[in-house]
């Protein structure tokens, strides 16, 4: 790779005619920063906002900051120097930091996620998976699922290291067979013994939170980064509140609790997650969610009014405005909710950042859907790769020190039953 790469350095300077308070508000909105991160950025010390960019991407990043009234600098990065024996560090005169912080200075470095897969390569895996699943009457679907996840995890990179998916297909197959037997029993009971069917339905509602927690734990514990596994320790009671109690209360309150429930869902996912023995932390404020949903509601009202008024003038223009407005709202909520969850998440001293753009994300979904339809589904592998690459390109981590100090939690074997029951009964938990 001989192409020159750049990093974006920010030293707290603002453009002429822009007040410091306005600049802080702009950069807070641009990157969805917490108060602590905002104070660090405006401390007057150089902070690397983004690194590993080519010239075009660096200029685009600078332009976004300049439009917000913030002055940053593009700095050429040197090629990595040959490894030299490390100098023994001087012990810091401060309390022992949390896992993951190994640097003496407070300046984080920005490491972006990267997805290195390509559509042509994944198409070969995808088409073989489909053919073998058909030939084996669905039995190969467990192996197909593992191959798919291994491809996407293995091609997702952070700080020059890839993720791993470690589940065994036989574990998933056993879970699916049990889930299939449960589904058949559930359907038969409803058909021939309605009272027992209703009882089983009640048990399913009560058991749904358990299925969700088990599914999240199975995925987490079979995911690894630098040979350290993730884990999920969310509680059944929290999942019960999110899937049953809060939705009922929300309906009784005319859905005014929707932003609060979205916030609690993000908190459940992030704070329940572990990397090794280190828990993720989350700092999202309820007011931020109500503001986000309030803006979305105003946009929706504006679109509806515009569509109705324009329909009276021209029957063709109104529906077009409605469709464009719907796509805009789709992108606003899809990108915005993802940004809200990720931008308030931290792992020890390392801050995650997501910069999904609503218009771009909506365009990717629309164009992917169109191309998949006109190619009778054959474009699907390229669509999945394209979306994965965009999500990775928009996600980064401000690493304080390095990522080599996490301690792997005790290895545990987790059954795939929860996840496969979730698929059999169409049970899941979507936060974004």
List Cβ neighbours of 397 (8 Å cut-off, separation of 6 or more).
Answer: 110, 111, 113, 158, 159, 347, 350, 351, 352, 353
pLDDT value at position 340? 95
Q: DSSP secondary structure string, 322-354? A: HHHHHHHHHHHHHHHHHHHHHHTEEETTEEEEE
Residue 418 near residue 217 (C-beta atoms within 8 A)? yes
Residue 13, phi then psi, degrees to nearest 5 = -85, 145
DSSP alpha helix (H) spans, 272-416: 286-313, 317-343, 358-374, 380-393
- Maximum Cα–Cα distance for the chain, whole Å? 77
The reported pLDDT for the residue numbered 422 is 57
Q: According to the model, what pLDDT value does residue 342 have?
A: 95
Instruction: Quick: pLDDT tens for 27-40.
Output: 776 665 656 667 76
Taking the model in full, what pTM does it have? 0.71
**In 3D, which of 315, 326, 428, 338 has the Cα closest to residue 392?**
338
For the chain (432 residues), the mean pLDDT of every run of 10, in chain order, is 68 79 75 64 72 71 78 71 47 42 60 93 96 94 94 93 92 87 86 84 89 91 91 93 95 95 96 92 93 95 91 85 91 95 92 94 95 96 96 92 65 58 52 52
Per-residue pLDDT, 188: 87
Structure confidence by residue, pLDDT tens digits, 106-117 = 577 889 999 999
Of 225, 297, 239, whose CA–CA distance to 267 is shortest?
239
Torsion sign (Cα): 325, 330, 336, 337: positive
CA distance 426 to 430: 12
Under 8 Å between Cβ of 186 and 197 = yes
């Amino acid at each position: 790779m001989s192409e020159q790469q750049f990093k974006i350095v920010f030293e707290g300077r603002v453009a002429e005619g822009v007040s410091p308070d306005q600049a802080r508000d702009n950069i807070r909105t641009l990157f969805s920063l917490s108060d602590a991160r905002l104070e660090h950025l405006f401390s007057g010390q150089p902070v690397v906002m983004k690194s590993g960019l080519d010239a075009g991407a660096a200029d685009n990043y600078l332009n976004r900051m300049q439009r917000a009234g913030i002055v940053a600098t593009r700095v050429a990065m040197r090629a990595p120097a040959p490894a030299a024996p490390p100098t023994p560090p001087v012990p810091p005169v401060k309390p022992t930091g949390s896992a993951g912080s190994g640097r003496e200075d407070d300046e984080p470095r920005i490491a972006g996620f990267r997805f290195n897969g390509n559509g042509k390569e994944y198409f070969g895996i995808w088409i073989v998976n489909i053919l073998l699943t058909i030939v084996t009457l669905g039995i190969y679907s467990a192996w197909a699922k593992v191959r798919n996840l291994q491809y996407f995890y293995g091609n997702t990179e952070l700080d020059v290291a890839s993720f791993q998916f470690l589940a065994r297909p036989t574990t998933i197959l056993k879970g699916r067979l049990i889930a299939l037997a449960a589904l058949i029993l559930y359907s038969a009971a409803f058909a021939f013994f309605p009272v027992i069917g209703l009882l089983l339905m009640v048990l399913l509602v009560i058991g749904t939170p358990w299925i969700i927690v088990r599914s999240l734990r199975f995925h987490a514990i079979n995911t690894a980064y630098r040979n350290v596994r993730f884990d999920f320790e969310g509680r059944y009671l929290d999942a019960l509140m999110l899937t049953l109690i809060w939705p009922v209360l929300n309906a009784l309150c005319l859905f005014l609790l929707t932003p609060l429930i979205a916030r609690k869902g993000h908190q459940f996912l992030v704070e329940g997650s572990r990397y090794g023995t280190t828990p993720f932390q989350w700092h999202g404020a309820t007011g931020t969610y109500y503001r986000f949903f309030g803006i979305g509601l105003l946009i929706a009202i504006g679109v509806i009014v515009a569509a109705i008024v324009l329909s009276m003038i021209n029957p063709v223009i109104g529906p077009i405005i409605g469709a464009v407005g719907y796509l805009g709202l789709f992108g606003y909520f899809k990108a915005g909710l993802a940004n809200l969850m990720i931008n308030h998440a931290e792992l020890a001293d390392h801050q995650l950042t997501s910069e999904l753009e609503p218009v771009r994300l909506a365009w990717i979904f629309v164009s992917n859907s169109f191309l998949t339809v006109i190619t009778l589904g054959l474009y699907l592998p390229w669509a999945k790769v394209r979306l994965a690459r965009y999500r990775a390109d928009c996600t980064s981590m401000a690493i304080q020190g390095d990522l080599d100090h996490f301690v792997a939690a005790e290895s545990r074997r987790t059954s795939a039953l929860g996840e496969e029951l979730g698929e059999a009964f169409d049970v899941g938990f979507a936060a974004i």
